[in-house]
Structure 1
Amino acid sequence: MDNIKVSIIVPVYNLSEYIGKTLDSIIYQDFKDFELIVIDDGSADDTLEVINKRLSNSNINHTVIHQENKGVGNARNVGIDASKGEYLVFVDGDDYISGNHLSELYNGKTDFSLIQLVKKDGSTLSNPHHYPTGEISCEEFIRMELNMEIPFNFCQLMYKSSIIKDNNIRFDENTVYGEDTEFALKALAFGDKIAISNEVTYYYIQREDSAIRTSDFRRFEIVSVFENLAEFYRNLGKNDLYDLIITSRIPKAIFGNMNYFFYNDYDFDEVISKMRELDLFEKLSKYKGDKKFEYKIRLFLLNPKIYYKTWKKFKNSI
């Protein structure tokens, strides 16, 4: 692979205000054996000019691909296909990384490695999660995610490129919410070990106009994402992971997103109507696990309106 250890893939769309800082954080990495692939996904502002100016003044190995707007999933897939590195790393065009991001991730041994991420909203930083350090099996990590025992974002990982390419793991280009989680959890199914560091090296910028914040009821797309993932695991003979998704991860995703809409004052009838349209009540009823959480679900299913009124009165106490 041309002796390139890591390929950094950066999709960009109308991010001229942010991409300069993102690129600077990549240019000044203390790890040098990498290539940078930037995919400008049809930006209509001066994003491409900013990219070319920043990179023309650097000496890093880079490729800039300009295409018509096809969405972030497609842009990332184009980056994967163009990559030559032994490992893959993804950085969004409005985020940035610390100077030791690659050196903290790269060990050349494990199939995956992981660092910590913090969310940055203005000048406020979220608290990072602390994992058990060292190495764990990829299947154990998958179970931890499906049980929602860990906060997790796909860009925290470094991926063995051969696992992605040999198993044709790609981003779903028709989904705007959850496609990155699906990508990571599919890839991890083919791995052995994941090395974990508690070093914070990725800064995830919160923007009001981001795709997730403006996707409205499409947040419920995460349900079909996990249904696809469940079938994927079942086809691999991992029936226990299939069951875990159906009886735990999907009901938790439904309930969590429903409460998100309630918390943000969405109209009750609109939320309930959308849930009925997507058959989410039936899927919610399949939950098995924590008795307290199961009790909350039963209260809601028994009478959604009473649950909602009680929730509005007491908020997070139920």
Structure 2
Amino acid sequence: MSIIFEEDGAESVDPSIIVPMYNTEKYICETLNSLVSSDFQNLEIIVVDDGSEDNSLQIAVNWFQQRKQAGKVLSHKNQGPSASRNEGIRLARGKYITFFDSDDICVAATYRKMLHVLDRNPIDFVIARGVSFDNNTQAVSGFPDSYVWDSILQGRTIHISTLMQEPRIARLESSSVLRIFKREFLISNQLTFPEKLFFEDAAFHAACMLRARRVALLGETLLFYRVGREGQTTGSFGKKRFNMLRILDIIREDVEQNDVPDSIGANLIGLLVRMVVWCSEFCAYDDRPTFILDAVKRLNAFPKMWIPLYASDYAYDDWERELCAAITSCDYGKLAKIAENVPEDKTDFNKNEDASLIGAILDNKKMHSIFKKANRRIKNITQSLKTRSGN
């Protein structure tokens, strides 16, 4: 590990944002610009380059030097995003720690609100919402957990709860980017990402959910998740999908070492079932039967009542219930057919949320005047949001 750039900035920083980076020279400036768009005074950004083969590293260093931004730019040989995140946790100075990907866009104003919730409540971490945007068209769509958010919040902006009181929190999408953690929570529980594996967020999510005392949900959008870009791991086909099987093993081993209430376990398994289906869609066609067979074996190795409980008490629709039934009965033929007919997400954006999000983006005059490329991208996304919300 080499430190390429270092700027200490203020004596104390909050939060520390850890950004693993690999071959994102076209996007890293947009990402970094969006992270600082609300002019945080004590923000620390730690960029960890994972052996990029393009100009990402030099572009990131130039950005830090021009802004004199507090933080670090590190470089190591390619090991995957988990190693980069773990190194960032080790070096972070902030009382609070979060993560961001090097090709996405952040609504930094939401960070302020998340920190406000963390400062004033006895919670371990706070979660915000995310949306996806197409890299080519800038079309915006909701995350697959939109219905979970809506069912929990019931129109509220903030909800603070234990997992026992609100087990559906465990069903939220596993992206670590959507959370800000108290550093003490991560360190005291020795929480890190499993290295040299993809879909590492799922294991980290499960570990955090099994150990959290109280969690806050902030019903505002933080993340624009970029989809459809060239070279994106989550949108590619191939053997990497089989990493999900090892992730299931890691989570099951963690579950076996903890006394997990069935309600929490049921919602966690509901998330994993959906992730397995998603991974199967992106397996090479010839590999799909083997992947489904191995995944079903692993899902059925969790406590037996979790999948039926999710189906009866928490499933979103008949498609999810049929999926759960096919897994528990090991009906591979039916499961393959169900998995090939994933229903289209018809979730509409909440107009109030859209208006708040648009306001947060457009309020950033300094970013718009300095960073023209990011400004064009954000304007396109904003216009897409306005069209969807009818404004």
Both structures adopt the same fold (TM-score exceeding 0.5): yes
- Residue 209 of structure 1 and its aligned partner are, at CA, apart by 2.0
Matched residue, 1:196: 217
Kindly tell me: are residues 226 and 249 of structure 1, through their superposed partners in 2, closer, same or farther at Cα, counting changes over 3 Å? farther
| Identical-residue share of aligned pairs (%) | 21
Deviation at 1:200, TM superposition (A): 1.4
User: What are the ranges of 5 or more consecutive residues in structure 2 without an aligned counterpart?
Assistant: 1-9, 313-317, 345-391
* 1:256 CA displacement: 5.2
Counterpart in 2 of 1:171? Answer: 193
Partner of residue 160 from structure 2, selected from 136, 153, 163: 136
Question: What's the CA shift for 1:75?
Answer: 0.6
Q: Deviations over 1:110-145 (max 9, x none)?
A: 321122111111311113634413233342588315
Residues 232-241 or 5-14, more deviating = 232-241
How far apart in 1 are the matches of 2:342 and 2:108? 41
Aligned equivalent of 2:132, options 109, 119, 131: 119
Spell out the pairing of 1:36-47 with structure 2 (5 A cutoff). Answer: 36-47=45-56
Matches within 5 A, 1:71-220: 71-107=80-116, 108-109=119-120, 110-121=123-134, 122=136, 123-127=138-142, 129=146, 130-131=149-150, 132=153, 133-140=157-164, 143-146=167-170, 148=171, 150-177=172-199, 179-206=200-227, 207-214=229-236, 216-220=238-242
Q: Secondary structure at the match of 1:57?
A: helix
2:321 and 2:30 mapped to 1: Cα distance? 45
Q: How far has the Cα of 1:169 moved from its partner?
A: 0.7
Amino acid of the residue matched to residue 125 of structure 2? Answer: F
Distance in 2 (CA, whole Å) between partners of 1:182 and 1:34 is 27
Q: Distance in 2 between matches of 1:141 and 1:230?
A: 23
Pair 1:272–1:165, CA change in 2 (3 A): same
Q: What letter is aligned with 1:126?
A: S
Give runs of aligned pairs for residues 45-56 of structure 1, distance below 5 A.
Answer: 45-56=54-65
Aligned to 1:271: 288
Letter in 2 for 1:157: R
Preserved contact between residue 105 and residue 225 of structure 2 (Cα < 8 Å):
yes
Report the CA distance between 1:59 and its aligned residue: 3.1
Aligned residues: 307
Alignment correspondent of 1:21: 30
Picking from 281, 288, 310, the partner of 2:308 is 288
Distance 1:235 1:86, change over 3 A: same
Amino acid at match of 1:288: P
Cα 1:228–1:96 change in 2 (3 A) is same
Partners of 2:45 and 2:343 in 1: CA distance: 44
Greater shift in the superposed pair: 216-225 or 123-132: 216-225
The answer to which of 184-193 and 104-113 deviates more is: 184-193
What displacement does 1:159 show?
0.5
- Assess if the C-alpha contact under 8 Å between 2:129 and 2:218 holds in 1: yes
Higher mean C-alpha deviation, range 94-103 or range 72-81: 94-103
SS of aligned partner of 1:176: coil
CA shift for structure 1 position 305: 4.5
Provide the TM-score with structure 2 as the length reference.
Answer: 0.68
Distance 1:280 1:204 in 2: 29
Q: Which residue does the alignment assign to 2:350?
A: none
* Deviation of 1:225 (Å): 2.0
Q: Which amino acid aligns with 1:189?
A: L
Distance 1:257 1:218 in 2: 9
Specify whether residues 45 and 238 from structure 1 end up closer, same or farther in structure 2 by C-alpha distance, changes over 3 A only: same
Question: Which has the larger displacement, 300-309 or 72-81?
Answer: 300-309
User: Structure 1 residue 282: deviation in Å?
Assistant: 7.3
Task: Give the secondary structure class of the aligned counterpart of 1:14.
Answer: coil
Whether contact under 8 Å (2:125, 2:179) holds in the other structure is: yes
Structure 1 residue 257 displacement after superposition: 4.1
Q: Aligned to 1:139, what secondary structure does the other structure show?
A: coil
How far is the alpha carbon of 1:231 from its aligned partner?
A: 2.9
Q: Which residue of structure 1 lines up, in the alignment, with residue 247 of structure 2? A: 225
Q: Residues 226 and 245 of structure 1 are in contact (CA less than 8 Å); yes or no, is this contact kept in structure 2?
A: no
8 Å contact kept, 1:2–1:84: no
The one-letter amino acid paired with 1:271 is R
Letter in 1 for 2:246: S
Return the alpha-carbon distance in structure 2 between the equivalents of residues 19 and 214 of structure 1. Answer: 20
Q: Is the 8 A contact 2:162 2:215 kept in 1?
A: yes
TM-score, with length taken from structure 1: 0.81
SS at match of 1:15: coil
Shift of 1:166: 1.9
